[in-house]
Structure 1
Amino acid sequence: MKKILVTGGAGFIGGNFVHYMVNKYPEYKIVNLDLLTYAGNLETLKNVEDKENYKFVKGDISDREFVFKLFEEEKFDIVINFAAESHVDRSVTDPGIFVQTNVLGTQVLLDASKEFKVKRYHQVSTDEVYGDLPIDRNDLFFTEETPLNPSSPYSASKTSADLLVQAYHRTYGLPTTISRCSNNYGPYHFPEKLIPLMISRALNDESLPVYGNGENVRDWLHVYDHCTAIDLIIHNGKVGDVYNVGGHNERTNLEVVKTILKSLDKPESLITYVKDRPGHDLRYAIDPTKLENELGWKPKYNFDIGIKETIQWYLDNKKWWQNIISGEYQKYYKNQYDNKQS
């Protein structure tokens, strides 16, 4: 029986991946390590918490003593690191926690994986490590050979983690892979991110804050397709390699917001333009050709289908996100967007 450690498995992408793996591979043991910070939510794992092949452990990936003890006890075959501070806006406000979790936490996991001879360490990264592309050049895409050029403290911390992973492979021979994905969307997405934020606020007839003129472009990847890609990479990906995972679904932020409003039959007058964020990347666009050609990956969702299913999920699961939109999150929202109208 393979034993897999999933770090950050109570978050958005990690939680979806835990669901995917627990159900697809009943013969695997999936251990979910999560610190349960503001974006971690055990309600996300309600449907799998009683499965025999699933176990939850609360802990911090940057706590070396704790992590090494866990590795010694569990003897993992595969480690998949989703655990990260991931919101760009928060990284602008408080870069330190991003370095602590995303860089130092990754180093601890790498050291433990090396010490206990893990057969595969996989780092879940982001297309933001590449920086951005010009909006007026639709022929340009991020490939695995694109130079790393991060724009924010968040993407700089993820870039640093990627470089550590590659260094541990070259220096110590640790069997590693890295995936870099475009913007994910789908079920269980924390409400501070664009799509769930706009859905939840539109349903309450509240203003929808859009940075700048809303023309920044993102390539949207359904979280299910991301899970299938990681599944392929950890089983069949070439050790030492990087794989880009993209959805071929480019939309401006404004287009996404208007799509949500139209689907919910809400007026565009709810849109409020706010002061642009510092270092706001213009365009992300991933070329996943390597993943498609080498491992046969194909996305299931195009954006038009995926966004409709996602909106419906939020309509059907109001209790999940309404429980989140309170307390610390409300304070964060007020600080981030109030009094910043342009």
Structure 2
Amino acid sequence: MNLETQLSERAVFVTGADGFVGSHLVDTLVEYGADVHAFVRATSSGELNNIRHQADSITVHKGDLRDSHSVRKALSPLKDTSEALIIHLGAQAHVGESWDRPYETVDTNVRGTLNLLQAVVDLDLDIAKFDTAGTSEEYGNVVEEVRENHEFDDNGRVILSERSPVNPKSVYATSKLAADFLTMNYYDAYKIPTVTTRMFNNYGPRQNPRYITGTIITQALERDIIELGNLQPKRDMCYVQDGVRGHLHVALEGNPGEQYVYGYGENISMRDWTNLILEVGAEHGYWEDPQIVQSDDRYRPGDSDVEELRVGHEKLTEKTGWEPRTTWREGLSRTIEWYAQNKQKWYGRVDWR
């Protein structure tokens, strides 16, 4: 399917539009000529961070997912449209911070999703698709009692698909799983054309520096040591632009009432990911040889860490032709370059100073 043809002049409502993935999605939608409605959290400064350059090309709605009035007000303009898309990316999306801010995490991720879904019903909107973004963290670790329900490759490595059991291990993952189920409840009850997507670890320019890729890069740019937590877990790292295409393919071509998962299709330990980042950055002259130091303070609490995540994205690929296009080295090169050139956008947000 030609995404540009399908999106030209179509109304698309994006929550979390000023965030990491949301801002890249907005850029792509503007490029394709969509009628973009960006829902962003109202702040005292009123400033946009990542989509300021698009302010003249989009309609910005300020509010809070937790406030049903502001959600309904923002969605009201869609009453004058047909076949609109709603792509719900807004969330408290940091696993570690979900332990520090559990109430805000649940309120934003669960009630926020409920407010959106109920507003669609109350306003009787004519929408083509409502895509709720979930997370690979919902899968957690393999539980022995249901091991036979998982898929494994010939080497015994788990492959996670739409059929895999879930086992959320953090407040964040549990809140996102609840949002997934709410999204499907509204399909079952009201036939809202909903879909859910589970993205596997996106990375790229503009990502909050508290996430693993950002904290490695920003520390390497600024000092000779890199303080990290557990480096054993394996993650399926997917470049953000591939993630954006995944959302658009699902929103345009996914079957209502179904789920789609996607990522790079291969995983890597966080130790090897760290080494790869340092290798790519050194090749481009951004640093020499920073020392990696593990700190107990940076571990997840208790037994809440997820050991291994790797996607099997055959369903989405067979349905839409989507596949990841960006290699790890290529994606990391672009990401390092962005952090190196945009210090003012991340320096005040790091958690290692």
Report if the CA contact (8 A) 1:221-1:249 is conserved: no
- SS of the residue corresponding to residue 78 of structure 1 reads strand
- Opposite residue 232 of structure 2, the aligned amino acid is E
> Is 1:154 the equivalent of 2:189?
no
What do the CA deviations read for 1:289-317 (whole angstroms, capped 9, x no partner)? 10001111111112122112221222233
> Is 1:64 the equivalent of 2:68?
yes
> Is 1:172 the equivalent of 2:190?
yes
Deviation at 1:60, TM superposition (A): 0.4
Aligned-partner Cα distance in 1 for 2:203–2:93: 14
Report if the CA contact (8 A) 1:205-1:270 is conserved: no
What is the alpha-carbon root mean square deviation over aligned residues?
2.3
Which of the residues 310, 319, 330 maps onto 2:335?
310
Report if the CA contact (8 A) 1:207-1:271 is conserved: yes
Where does residue 300 of structure 2 map in the other structure?
A: 277
- SS of the residue corresponding to residue 164 of structure 2 reads coil
Where does residue 124 of structure 1 map in the other structure?
A: 133
Which of the residues 181, 187, 205 maps onto 2:223?
205
Deviation at 1:319, TM superposition (A): 3.3
Report if the CA contact (8 A) 1:10-1:36 is conserved: no
Counterparts in 2 of 1:56 and 1:246: CA distance versus 1, 3 Å: same
Report if the CA contact (8 A) 1:216-1:281 is conserved: yes
Counterparts in 2 of 1:32 and 1:13: CA distance versus 1, 3 Å: same
Where does residue 253 of structure 1 map in the other structure?
A: 270
- SS of the residue corresponding to residue 47 of structure 1 reads helix
Unmatched runs of 5 consecutive residues or more in structure 2: 1-8, 144-151
- Superposed, 1:137-148 pairs within 5 Å as 138-148=156-166
Aligned-partner Cα distance in 2 for 1:56–1:133: 42
Aligned-partner Cα distance in 1 for 2:254–2:77: 27
Counterparts in 2 of 1:195 and 1:73: CA distance versus 1, 3 Å: same
Q: Kindly, what percent of the aligned residue pairs are identical?
A: 28
Length-normalised TM-score, structure 1: 0.88
Length-normalised TM-score, structure 2: 0.85
Q: Which moved more, 1:63-72 or 1:86-95?
A: 63-72
Which of the residues 280, 284, 291 maps onto 1:263?
280
Report if the CA contact (8 A) 1:78-1:118 is conserved: no
Deviation at 1:216, TM superposition (A): 0.8
> Is 1:43 the equivalent of 2:49?
yes
Where does residue 324 of structure 2 map in the other structure?
A: 299
- SS of the residue corresponding to residue 134 of structure 2 reads strand
Aligned-partner Cα distance in 1 for 2:42–2:156: 39
Aligned-partner Cα distance in 2 for 1:269–1:291: 39
Aligned-partner Cα distance in 1 for 2:312–2:294: 31
Where does residue 339 of structure 1 map in the other structure?
A: none
Counterparts in 2 of 1:199 and 1:36: CA distance versus 1, 3 Å: farther
